[in-house]
Amino acid sequence: MASPLQGKNIIVGVSGSIAAYKAADLVSQLRKLDAEVFPVLTRGGAEFITPLTLQTLARQPVAADLWSEGNGWQPGHVELADKADLLVVAPATADVIAQFAHGLAPDYLSSLHLVARCPVLIAPAMNGKMWTHPATVANVATLRGRGVHFIGPEEGMLACGYEGVGRLWPVEGIVQEILTLLASET
């Protein structure tokens, strides 16, 4: 029996949150379901998890630097976006959400987002005050209005020591949402 993600190309964007370490589990679980996983790591994300970890688990190189991408004539972020069935950003910081909402493209992940025509799933992780700030609320509403899917964040103890909303949704739940989104696309 074919695995539910066999033949699916999933980009996993990882931004600068302490929850970035959970991206390793996400990549691993997606690979176990036979997805082809392409990690994209922001500069902030690389402060929390190494490219080598993601590369080893994904069995693909990690895209991180917009200015040193690809070996062919086509820009790597465009080529990757063209073959993607889904773009998942987990964890997604307030900064990445704002870049996406405002069409900014200062790095590989945000540039890839602008050219991607596949579904997008964002799993936020940040301080609760950042999540509930009017700017973030407006940015999320903008992206939802464009058809971007969100999962979480959940409530609990945050890295900053506060209790509240802002934790990355459990990896198993993110995987289930990926399965649901991709099933509805076929």
Catalytic residue positions, numbered:
160
- In the block, tokens 């465009």 appear at 78
Residue 98 CB neighbour total at 10 angstroms: 18
Distance CA 8, CA 31 (A): 10
Distance CA 46, CA 40 (A): 10
Across-strand partners of 37? 10
Distance CA 104, CA 110 (A): 7
Distance CA 135, CA 122 (A): 17
Q: For residue 86, which of 8, 144, 176 has the smallest C-alpha distance?
A: 8
